[in-house]
A and B are shown apart, each in its own frame.
Chain A
Amino acid sequence: MDLRASEVTSILEKEIENYQGESDMRSVGTVLSVGDGVSRVWGLEDCMMNELLEFPGGVRGVALNLEEDNVGCVLLGNASKVKEGDTVRTTGRIISVPTGPSLLGRVVNALGDPVDGRGPLSVTEADYLPIEQPAPSVVERQPVDTPLQTGIKAIDAMIPIGRGQRELIIGDRQTGKTALLTDTIISQKNTGGGDPDNPEQVICIYVAMGQKQSTVVDVVQKLEAQGAMPYTIVVSASAMDEASMQYLAAYAGATMGERFRDEGRDVVIMYDDLYKQALAYRQVMLLLRRPPGREAFPGDVFNLHSRLLERAARLADNAPEINPRFKKGGGSLTALPVVETQEGDVSAYIPTNVISITDGQIFLESNLFNAGVRPAVNAGISVSRVGGAAQIPAMKKIAGGLRLDLATYRELQAFAQFGSDLDKATQKVLTRGEKLVEILKQGQYVPMKVEDQIMVIYAGTSGGLDDLATSKVPAFEKAFLAHMQDNYPDVGTTIREEKKVSDEVKKLLDEALAAVKPQFA
């Protein structure tokens, strides 16, 4: 085919006449250097922070460092195709990920591409939202007042979490941090029967950053086996993915969660974990030659976490009137970030940062874990600053006594180690404490409904277990709940609906205690 230049020009002249202006005219630059998954680009004059860049051969990058005469960016995808001197173009788009219901039940990477081999997502262009979005402002929020039931006795009773709250889970390696998250996801099945279309169903997003691939597979398998995947999205950037993906995954997950929150749904997002995310960020920033600060982290590592966690919120009911970005008010995004500590050191840089941004912490301790106290929650130092307002009154009442009993127990326990002659009162406190510690133990994958938790804790705090051998408490707990279910099936519903434990219910519980106990004498 012979293409005559003059023809080309006349067509062009027409095109230029009808030219749409700036939008078609992209700013370009030239690759100065490339290596280690990062590239420096000369030019790119009006490039935006976090803008997607196009390299030749379909490779994409994200602009992260905007300097006077060059732009530092990370490459997403095959960096070996990029070479010095290549032309780079801006796209005018901040890096975006797909959102919406079609992601539920899926495992995706930091860019929202499915990695579970179940085919493409069914999304439209409008479903793509930028991974960085401003957090709701003060007027667009409302106070936390609804509980997020984790199904874990020790947490729901003593460190209650409210919807829209940010509660940090912090502990050394292998202390059951991930287990706590998976159980919380499984527990959300009680909110809407596991049906994602039920508006009551809490949506869960699990973001795995820098984890071993096998851990992620394990979590997904467990969730699937427990029927928890239909209302869950797993965002996975495992240890073998690029560092840039590992740190971007958190923001991608937050955007996916916000989509549901802004449509009036309740969402819980888990970042597992922010320490590894900070390490990935540090790696990228050192490669881009950002000046390192404390512990070689870049100076803005605090902002890395604060702008992420600020996106957790409970929206005001009239939020859509204030900002049309919100389709429906009243939704919430609860954030459960995890931070791994080294040798229990919570005063290191990243732990102190995240502690200061969150509304409370759940401390998990190795020595408790190894002593068989699982979940290994140290209730003495764990706090939830806003969750108390969200607890249902029945739980608040029962658990108030629990906290107090446990605190006295811990105090006396230290003394009891020295003296052998203990007076009756002290002895009693110690026995009670032992039983309470025992009933707060809980296995994996068995989250408990709040009414069941209340019944079990009542058994402990009312002193009903004092004359039972400690080793028999777990078996008793099971038999007791079964007995309640069989003989007084309405009591659970009554507690849940009335939100309090009436004297009548107390009487029934005492009767049941008396009936079941003889089996374990």
Chain B
Amino acid sequence: MSTTRVDGVTRRYAGALFELAFARGALDAVQADVERLGRELSSPAIGAYLFDTRVPHAERRSKLEPVLAGMHQLMQNFVGLLFDKRREAVLLNLSAAFHERRLLLDRAAEGVVESAVPLGEAELSKLAAALSRVMDKTLHLENRVTPDLIAGVRVVADNRMIDFSARGRLDGLRRTMLSSPLPSAASSA
């Protein structure tokens, strides 16, 4: 699951690019370009230079030209627009934002299954299949071992949490006990 936090501005720019690419039937090509650009930017040589405000704007822009050469026309226009509007910071999380949109289109979501002991491949996919039905989305799950859960699993996907763990039950019990009324009046709680 991506842990990148996409800000509102990036989300709007990425959304516009996505819609355009989708309308032109160039979604896969543009997404490949977006991902490639993302990889390039994460290399220190380009990344550090591109967002260094001490370097003149035009110089930074020209630095990116060889990378853009050969990319889809939409992508080239998009980067040009970003520089014109001085919004090149959008490039930082562009691939994450694009990925988010893609998941939305595919009615899919990524998530993490936390469990006390490691889950096997088979269990993971079984769980994913069952949860996909509930959430009405195709879930791609990843396993993370959290011994603190004691037993059971806790799933966080699509900004939601479903807690089936022993730890969660215990916490719930604790909360109920702390906030519940006196024994005499407890019947309805």
Contacts and interface: CB of A to CB of B under 8 A. Distances in A.
Given A8-B153, A42-B5, A28 B130 contact: no
Given A6-B123, A26-B161, A124-B189, A16 B115 contact: no
Task: Name A's interface SS.
Answer: mixed
Of the listed residues A3, A45, A121, the one surrounded by the most CB atoms of chain B closer than 10 A to its CB is: A3
Interface in B101-124: 115-120, 123
Given A123-B181, A124-B188, A16 B130 contact: yes
Contact of B161 (A19, A28, A127): A28
Contacts of A29: 159
B21 interface: no
Contacts of A3: 116-117, 151
B185 A45 contact: no
Contacts of A44: 159
B7 interface: yes
A504 interface: no
A300 interface: no
Given A19-B134, A122-B182, A69 B8 contact: yes
Contact of A125 (B119, B151, B162, B189): B189
Contacts of B7: 69
A28 B152 contact: no
Interface string B150-183: 0111001001111010000001001100101110
A19 B175 CA distance: 22
B119 A25 contact: no
A295 interface: no
B120 A45 contact: no
B2 interface: no
Contacts of B8: 68-69
A124 B187 CA distance: 8
Contacts of A127: 181
B48 interface: no
A45 B159 contact: yes
Nearest to A91: B175
A27 B182 contact: no
B126 interface: yes
Contacts of A24: 162
Given A28-B161, A124-B185, A12 B174 contact: no
A8 B115 contact: yes
Contact residues on B (Cβ < 8 Å of other chain), bracket: 35 or more
Query: Which residue among A5, A21, A27 has the maximum number of chain B CB atoms within 10 Å of its CB?
Result: A5
B161 A87 contact: yes
A457 B117 CA distance: 84
A117 interface: no
B131 interface: yes
Interface string B7-22: 1100000000000000
B126 A122 contact: no
Contacts of B189: 124-125
Contacts of A42: 5
Bin chain A's interface residue count: 35 or more
B119 A12 contact: no
A13 interface: yes
Contacts of B134: 16, 19, 21
A89 interface: yes
B115 A25 contact: no
A26 B118 CA distance: 24
Interface in A123-160: 123-127
Nearest to A29: B159
A89 B175 CA distance: 14
A17 B188 contact: no
A42 B117 CA distance: 29
A312 to B, nearest CB: 29
Question: Which of A19, A42, A126 is packed against the most chain B CB atoms within 10 Å?
Answer: A19
A19 B186 CA distance: 26
Contact of B120 (A5, A16, A58, A126): A5
B188 A126 contact: yes
B161 A122 contact: no
B153 A28 contact: no
B184 A28 contact: no
A346 B7 CA distance: 45
Nearest to A14: B130
Contact of B119 (A9, A21, A28): A9
Contacts of B161: 25-28, 87, 89
Contacts of A13: 126-127, 130
Contacts of A89: 161
Given A24-B162, A68-B8, A87-B161, A5 B184 contact: no
A26 B131 contact: no
B131 to A, nearest CB: 6
Given A12-B130, A19-B134, A27-B159, A5 B188 contact: no
Given A28-B159, A69-B7, A12 B153 contact: yes
A127 B185 CA distance: 11
A57 to B, nearest CB: 10
Nearest to A42: B5
B145 to A, nearest CB: 11
Contacts of B174: 58
Given A16-B134, A69-B8, A5 B181 contact: no
Contact of A123 (B152, B160, B185): B185
Interface of B: 5, 7-8, 115-120, 123, 126-127, 130-131, 133-135, 151-153, 156, 159-162, 164, 171, 174-175, 178, 180-182, 184-189
13 contacts: A5-B118, A5-B120, A6-B120, A8-B115, A11-B152, A16-B131, A19-B134, A28-B160, A42-B5, A69-B7, A87-B156, A124-B185, A126-B188
